Amino acid sequence: SQTIHQWPATLVQPVGSPLSLECTVEGTSNPNLYWYRQAAGRGLQLLFYSVGIGQISSEVPQNLSASRPQDRQFILSSKKLLLSDSGFYLCAWRPDEAGYTFGSGTRLTVV
């Protein structure tokens, strides 16, 4: 079966520390993968998407970066976190044009 895994579920990090969030997909190959951020009271904001290994597109300028080291692995990173990076981060896989399957999310709190 096709599943998407995202971890960790929650994370508290100090300002200036690095970040690494991981997302993996099972049961499919060459998936389109996405990172979204969801701020309180706001909609989902697309951060990055990837259509293949090493192919990353950034939707908004920010303190974050993404990498696709393997076909079914998508990583969200930062070298130095800012307070404004706090939020709920969602990895998503798009199996078809109709919509997404989302990961369970990571609640990041930068203190």
Nearest to 28 by CA among 49, 3, 7: 3
**Residue from the set 6, 24, 78, 86 that interacts with another protein by CB under 8 A:** 6
**Residue from the set 1, 14, 29, 41 that interacts with another protein by CB under 8 A:** 41
**Residue from the set 44, 56, 58, 67 that interacts with another protein by CB under 8 A:** 44
- The span from the CA of 79 to the CA of 90, in Å, is 19
The residues near 29 (Cβ < 8 Å, ≥ 6 apart) are 71, 72
Which chain residues interact with another protein by CB under 8 A? 6, 9, 41-44, 88, 90, 92, 97-105, 107
